Structure 1
Amino acid sequence: MTRTVPFRVAFIALLTLSVFVFGFKFLAFEEPKVSLEKYKIEDGFELKLIASESFLKAPVSIDFDNKGRIWTVEMIGYMPNLEGIGEDEPTGRISILEDLDKDGVIDHSKVFLNKLVLPRALAHVYGGLLYVDAGKLWFVEIKNDKPGKKTLVDPTYAEGGNVEHTSNGLMMNIDNWIYNANYNFRYQLKNGKWIKEATTYRGQWGITKDNFGRLYYNNNSVQLQSDFVLPNKVIRNKYFKPTFAEGQKIANNRVFPIHQTSVNRGYQKGVLDENGYLKEVTASCGPLVYRGGAFPSDYNQNAFVCVPEANLIKRNYLNFSSLQTSAKQAVEGKEFIASTDEGFRPVNLFNGPDGAMYIVDMHRGIIQHKAYISQYLTEQLANKKLDTLQNAGRILKVVSKTTKTNPIPDLSKATTKALVALLSSPNGWLRDRSQQILISKNDKTIVKDLIALAKGNNELAAIHALYTLEGLNSLTFGLLSDLMTQTKQADILAHALVLSEHFAAAPLSPKMKDISSQLFAQNNETIDLYLALALNAWIKVDTNGFLPIFAQVEKKYADKRIFQEAIVSSLEGKEEQYVASQNPATMLKNNLTLAINNRQKKEMNPIFVREKNVVDDRTNGLKLFRSICATCHGADGKGIQDLAPPLKDSEYINGSMKRLASIILHGLSGPITVNGKQYQLNNEMPGLANNNTLSDSDIADIIRYTQNAFAKDFKNISASDIKKLRDKKPTGGGLFSEKELLETDFEK
């Protein structure tokens, strides 16, 4: 008997067959459609939408996996409303974005980790994922796009502090160490164990690097900062803190928005120009040194910076012509990207595996945390209904119209030989990731290929090859010795000198002294600087042999601070011997004396003492206000019927700080008039003077927070003022009445 196949079954079979035969070419996928008409980008470039809601919400960072897919960190809990209530809820997540029809636009997403509290960073390293959840740093193995075994790397990584002022970044550098913004530690997985080591405290949100391995970062009011030397090379001396070689402001802060700007301190003189346009950055973040190799050559190693408060992205030329990196506005009076869309909130920038530049757009109205948001900005955001722009998010891509990006490769399928070849790629992302995959594979059959690259003419490939060998435990002093005596390329020599410290030992000391003398004879500033920086380990095995080399460098550069700081760093523990035997010039002698005195007083560089982020005064004030004051006054400061009057527009908030402090210290009884209206209170307001858990600084912090959130003009008060006011008690030792408050001169 013949059976008729139902039409629905036949259609499904045909559709399934088409998928196997033709791939996804004919299948329709839902993709975001967002207009970019309000965005202006520099001539010669194009801005493309890669992903949008509903595939992601509130993205703050991304990373690409070895297949080239985008993984997003979504900080959904950040400022869910103007009061910031609910930010500690576990609403954050890490998602995998997929482009199944291969047209360059995300059409699917899947959650990898859910129920995270304020996640802020991630990094694909060591075959797994490093990420942040509830202030802790975790590493998780990845199995078929699912989380596997979890390891707690650092329980205090982003503990304490404001959500905008705690650790983030997680960037693997060329030296095989993972660096952060806003934290004084770096990380490395070595022989199955996580290493946590002190490093310089850098920036606020976002971190990047150049091809050499120097680090760049910024903070709200400083557009771009730079270290002039490789990380951790000028901080060897724990009793000396360099002030010149690291953390230098290298660009001006001028911005050129294309619309009137709503910013936190817009009411203050000089913040906005006469037309209401922002003059200088107030929330710069997410810097990127472009290393993609797919833009015109003039854009190679330009520094781009996010300015979310003004809805723009800056471009700076970096100048490497001397030992002091500098930057300048690329096009005077004009930004690389500027928008009139006030929801455009770029917070991070990344190089991509295709050579494009990727923009993480948090795309929301509120971009200022409650601990710092002023009444002025709160009202502006509410009037524009920007507080209602929530749960959006975009990933944008910048491509050149004149040069082509490359297809996104699948490095998970690449052979070790192919990965070695990619160390020569013009795309820094591919070089970086290939280096790390090669180290993870631990395939020693490529050692000869890496040595050949290290000795070749491609400077970038040579440096990556050296650190790949180091990561494979296959680097030898013989190779470094050959490089230091044969190559003339200063950047390769600098890294070879730094890596030579792994082999510092007495039997090799004569050879290293000869090499050092030969290098110094080349009369090259870069070589001389890294000679001074890299002899820290060698001087410990042969002090008398290497002290004269330091003396040569010192005398040649007696007036250059960067050299003097390098020498002090390397002379850790040998300062007195050097002063006694080498008769240093004034600058070096003063720095060495400072280090000697600090050691005697046991005063270390703070990075070697600080263990976790410190809660800033306004964030502490916010937390205390919510736990002590908001119950009656309301989280929004508008007051609660029959409990407490409003704080906004109150003469007690806008008036004398000492009077306000006295109310908080000693309490208030009876009716009170606020802004012309009398409030009959059912309960007395207790004072905090007898609360032993609150310090003078805590009470000052509460007042600072109320000033920032509710006052027309911010006024400050010190902990010492609070201490004095503790003794200025109400008559009879009870609570203040309104009459006594108004009659008392608190300023005496």
Structure 2
Amino acid sequence: MKTRTLLICTAAIAHGEPAKLPSMPPVKALSPQEAVGSFQLPEGYRMELVLSEPEIKEPVVTVFDGNGRMFVAEMRTYMQDIDGNGQREPASRISLHTDTDGDGTYDKHSIFADKLMLPRMILPLGKGQIVVNETDSLDLYLHTDTNNDGVADKKELWWRGGPRGGNLEHQPSGLVWAIDNAIYTTYNNFRLRWTPEGIRKEETKANDGQWGLGHDNTGNLYYVNAGGEKGPLSFQAPVVYGMFNPQDQFEKGFTTLFPAAGVRDFQGGPGKAREPEGTLNGFSSGAGIDVYRGDQLPAEMLGDVFFGEPVGRLVRRAKVANEGGLKVLSNPYQNAGSEFLRSTDLCFRPVNMTNAPDGTLYITDMYRGIIQEAAWVNPGSYLRTIVEQYNFDKITGRGRVWRLAHTTTKKVKQPRMYEETTAQLAVHLASPNGWWRDTAQRLIVLRQDKSVVPLLERVARIHTAPLTRLHALWTLQGLNSVTPALVREKMADADPQVRAGAIRVSETLFRQGDASFRKDIEKLAADADPNVVLQACMTAKYLAWPDHQKFVTDTVLKSTAKGVKEIGAYLTLSPGESLAEYSDKERVVLKKGEEIYSTLCASCHGQNGLGTEVAGLKGHTLAPPLGGSRTITSNPKGGIYVLLKGMQGEIEGKKYEGLMIPMASNDDEWIASVLSYVRNNFGNRGSFINPAEVAQARKDTAGRNEPWTYQELQARLPQVIPNSHLKLTASENNDETNRAIDGSAESRYSTNKFMRPGMWFQIELDKEAPVSGLTLDTRTSANDYPRGYEVSVSKDGREWSQPVAKAPEEKNPITEITFQPTLAKYIKITQLGSADGNFWSIHELQVFEDKKQ
């Protein structure tokens, strides 16, 4: 699934005049049996069909419960035509599939939960229970089958998250219960934790993930980014400690793709095609990531990362090397110009990877012609032309689940965990299959059966397998039964994975009041293994103990390990220093805006706001730079209009690789927060946007259904009245008022008196005009902004209106004032507050008229 946007939030989709292409024979959908012949795999590997239409249609997620039953989320309304009509109809479902005789074939099928709105996440819990998330909501519902007939007959709210707006491809996925007993999703900057008292929400850092989420044996999460064309990311460490993406976490050439077939149906347009064959040359829509942790594929696969590239009709396999604590991903087939799994079937769309109870890897294939949501296939776009050329939009209502197997793969027993005692579940913590270990740990924690605590303590102490010791330790943490003595013992474990895990487990005790672990963690900063050293640093910063910054900095400086140096560079940053000049209320807005930007916008605009360079196209960026952007920094309506309606075409004469899709489905506060953040970062400084301004802009543009062109937007926005048309007077220092319009930010008008209520500054226009706002720029005298103001207008300079704008003190050197267009010739700004030690100054003044209202 393609997931990302441009200009504040962009997607890699070409724009401009679509090429006139000849009609082609329609793309043909292959039967599952025919599709098997389209797969290209290394010797010894094969794809086995598990499920297909008509049992399933439009599958996007596959998971297994404790008895090995398979649940499949089916987005049955996704892009059933080229315009995406009816997508949000509650006509999707989650189906249940059971292997009744243990022969590896799912022979019993039922609709577990029906009439859903594009279900996107599933988490199996107890017997007959799954937690489900639907599109446009963060709410999680528990669906329960109380009579064991394969159909849920009870639905109850499990956790209230509230509504979630935005394009349906820009919404969370995952719902992964990780080894630390926390539940993670993409996009969200929080995790959830099940407790006997209810669900607890815990803050994390941003993750930049989109569709798909996996994890390795020790709990590192692997996200994948589509729209930014980055592939895997945020996998260096759990996101609770930060989002770390060092530049050298990939081997050179990792982003180059080698598909077996292609028809140039790429969001990036012709520049993404490898000529002359027309195959995709780099990441476009990475999706559905997981780390292989099973026991029925060759041992060389263990720990390898797999993710789909549905636009490229392939599955990438990545080897993971650890270079001094830094994970580095590489494509083992790069030198051969190939991939692990490729298909010549143009409808093969691998959107998810899943470790299975049978020790293999399952691949969810949405199997369809078009794999982009309607916003990326709008009329006039390059992509729509290609879709229509091959009739991709006509192939819908199909879907397959495949099992990746090998000549060495053997059938294994089916799990029957729901019928087992808690002690029997604990035995599975020693399984060579990560799915069995994870599921057993989750069920033990859900049962809260403390009778196994002595057994788990023995396992954590003496079991020969490090991963089993680690799972036992985390299971005790989930039972709220881990002791300081055991944690300290495991901090000295022979295996570095266990030592690092023990540091993480100690955070639970630390937060319960046992600060004595600080000394133990500080000692581990000298550990021989850089992964342990990194964990000590991350935990110190996460717990924010006194002088933790000095401890982290000293540890990083002493280390010679590559990972400690590179990830440590992130840890030693001092965030928040630039926020000192903002009020507490403004900091809350900026924090929310930063979270939105980091998770949704940065992949195209870059973390530094300079735009993300298109892979293989030097000098071309997915999105325009935001620093100094006229749309962002001038009239506040500019950015609001773009987020509400989108933008297409050239921007100030330059083409970008993307089209800004509308974000109007997000609420007013969401739009105001991210715009306020962008207007006050990347060298920008502007007023904060408030939700009321967004609400008004919605009304003003309610009749528009197309994205703006840059020219249309600028014509629609209020225009600056030339300075030559202005005459200025003031209550104080009247002779120097023209310094506010002399074109130089270095000179200024100033009251030359400390600010007091009642001081005024007046503007006379050469003729009446529909004025709608003004800007007072005081950046060179940063503290000379008005301490509150009100603005009145007049047609004759004698009779004045009631205030058309009024605001309390705003600590911002740029005072941007907007109001409804009002026909006037005179404008008066009155200063409302006092400031001993500061004059009221104006370095540059702009007045806006709005002729389009």
- Same fold (TM > 0.5): yes
Deviations 1:694-730 (A, max 9, x none): 6399969968x558xxxxxxx65685563157999xx
The answer as to whether partners of 2:246 and 2:566 remain within 8 angstroms in 1 is no
1:549 and 1:305 map into 2 onto residues whose CA distance is 37
The answer as to whether partners of 2:262 and 2:346 remain within 8 angstroms in 1 is no
Judge which range, 113-122 or 103-112, deviates more: 103-112
1:539 and 1:427 map into 2 onto residues whose CA distance is 36
AA aligned to 1:525 is P
Deviations 1:104-138 (A, max 9, x none): 33333211111111111111135531111242332
Label 1:327 to 1:77 Cα distance change in 2 as closer, same or farther (>3 A): same
Deviations 1:613-667 (A, max 9, x none): 99989xxxxxxxxxxxxxxxxxxxxxxxxxxxxxxxxxxx989999xxxxxxxxx
How big is the shift at 1:383? 3.3
1:209 and 1:494 map into 2 onto residues whose CA distance is 16
Deviations 1:565-596 (A, max 9, x none): 76986xxxxxxxxxxxxxxxxxx4xx33x544
The answer as to whether partners of 1:208 and 1:217 remain within 8 angstroms in 2 is yes
Label 1:604 to 1:553 Cα distance change in 2 as closer, same or farther (>3 A): farther
Matches within 5 A, 1:200-211: 200-202=205-207, 203-211=209-217
Q: Equivalent residue for 2:322?
A: 320
Match of 1:388 among 357, 382, 394: 394
How big is the shift at 1:63? 0.8
AA aligned to 1:440 is L
AA aligned to 1:490 is P
Give yes or no for the alignment of 1:527 onto 2:518.
no
2:49 and 2:426 map into 1 onto residues whose CA distance is 33
Matches within 5 A, 1:173-252: 173-202=178-207, 203-220=209-226, 221-232=229-240, 234-235=241-242, 244=245, 252=254
Deviations 1:650-698 (A, max 9, x none): xxx989999xxxxxxxxxxxxxxxxxxxxxxxxxxxxxxxx99663999
The answer as to whether partners of 1:156 and 1:612 remain within 8 angstroms in 2 is no
Match of 1:349 among 346, 353, 365: 353
How big is the shift at 1:558? 9.1
Label 1:522 to 1:385 Cα distance change in 2 as closer, same or farther (>3 A): closer
AA aligned to 1:427 is N
2:48 and 2:591 map into 1 onto residues whose CA distance is 41
Give me the CA root mean square deviation.
3.8
Aligned length: 593
The answer as to whether partners of 2:298 and 2:408 remain within 8 angstroms in 1 is yes
1:216 and 1:247 map into 2 onto residues whose CA distance is 16
Gaps of 5+ in 2: 1-30, 603-647, 654-692, 723-768, 771-850
AA aligned to 1:723 is L
Matches within 5 A, 1:469-484: 469-484=476-491
AA aligned to 1:355 is G
1:319 and 1:213 map into 2 onto residues whose CA distance is 16
Gaps of 5+ in 1: 1-30, 236-241, 570-587, 618-652, 659-690, 708-714, 734-745
Give yes or no for the alignment of 1:117 onto 2:117.
yes
1:364 and 1:480 map into 2 onto residues whose CA distance is 50
The answer as to whether partners of 1:516 and 1:549 remain within 8 angstroms in 2 is no
AA aligned to 2:579 is N
The answer as to whether partners of 1:209 and 1:289 remain within 8 angstroms in 2 is yes
How big is the shift at 1:380? 2.7
Q: Equivalent residue for 2:469?
A: 462
Give yes or no for the alignment of 1:722 onto 2:716.
yes
Deviations 1:440-491 (A, max 9, x none): 2222221122112212331111111111001111101011112224x23211
Q: TM-score, normalised by structure 2?
A: 0.63
Label 1:201 to 1:41 Cα distance change in 2 as closer, same or farther (>3 A): same
Matches within 5 A, 1:22-61: 35-61=35-61
SS at match of 1:167: coil
SS at match of 1:309: coil
Match of 2:579 among 579, 582, 598: 598
1:289 and 1:428 map into 2 onto residues whose CA distance is 10
Q: Equivalent residue for 1:438?
A: 444
SS at match of 1:371: helix
Match of 1:397 among 396, 403, 423: 403
Label 1:412 to 1:246 Cα distance change in 2 as closer, same or farther (>3 A): farther
The answer as to whether partners of 2:48 and 2:403 remain within 8 angstroms in 1 is yes
SS at match of 1:534: helix
Q: Which has the higher contact order (CA 8 A, sep 6+)?
A: 2
Q: Equivalent residue for 1:682?
A: none
Deviations 1:496-548 (A, max 9, x none): 112212223899656x45534543444432222222222358764xx47x787
Label 1:563 to 1:445 Cα distance change in 2 as closer, same or farther (>3 A): farther
Match of 2:414 among 398, 408, 414: 408
Label 1:699 to 1:174 Cα distance change in 2 as closer, same or farther (>3 A): same
Label 1:615 to 1:564 Cα distance change in 2 as closer, same or farther (>3 A): closer
Q: TM-score, normalised by structure 1?
A: 0.71
1:393 and 1:345 map into 2 onto residues whose CA distance is 9
The answer as to whether partners of 1:424 and 1:461 remain within 8 angstroms in 2 is yes
1:96 and 1:524 map into 2 onto residues whose CA distance is 45
How big is the shift at 1:608? 5.7
Match of 1:423 among 424, 429, 444: 429
How big is the shift at 1:190? 1.3
SS at match of 1:421: helix
Q: Equivalent residue for 2:3?
A: none
How big is the shift at 1:273? 2.4
Label 1:700 to 1:467 Cα distance change in 2 as closer, same or farther (>3 A): same
Label 1:249 to 1:694 Cα distance change in 2 as closer, same or farther (>3 A): farther
Give yes or no for the alignment of 1:150 onto 2:155.
yes
Matches within 5 A, 1:264-413: 264-265=266-267, 267-332=269-334, 333-373=337-377, 375-413=381-419
The answer as to whether partners of 2:325 and 2:562 remain within 8 angstroms in 1 is no
Deviations 1:214-266 (A, max 9, x none): 1111122122213312331x25xxxxxx6557996678221111123342346
How big is the shift at 1:302? 0.8
1:44 and 1:564 map into 2 onto residues whose CA distance is 39
Deviations 1:51-80 (A, max 9, x none): 011101101001101110110100011111
Judge which range, 150-159 or 363-372, deviates more: 150-159
2:563 and 2:589 map into 1 onto residues whose CA distance is 18
The answer as to whether partners of 1:138 and 1:150 remain within 8 angstroms in 2 is no
Give yes or no for the alignment of 1:170 onto 2:175.
yes
Label 1:207 to 1:246 Cα distance change in 2 as closer, same or farther (>3 A): farther
1:373 and 1:395 map into 2 onto residues whose CA distance is 27
How big is the shift at 1:430? 0.6
AA aligned to 2:76 is I
SS at match of 1:454: helix
1:726 and 1:692 map into 2 onto residues whose CA distance is 21
2:513 and 2:187 map into 1 onto residues whose CA distance is 41
Label 1:488 to 1:547 Cα distance change in 2 as closer, same or farther (>3 A): farther
2:561 and 2:32 map into 1 onto residues whose CA distance is 58
Q: Equivalent residue for 1:499?
A: 505
1:655 and 1:495 map into 2 onto residues whose CA distance is 51
AA aligned to 2:342 is A
Label 1:278 to 1:516 Cα distance change in 2 as closer, same or farther (>3 A): closer
Q: Equivalent residue for 1:515?
A: 520
Q: Which has the higher helix share?
A: 1
Judge which range, 521-530 or 559-568, deviates more: 559-568
2:651 and 2:490 map into 1 onto residues whose CA distance is 69
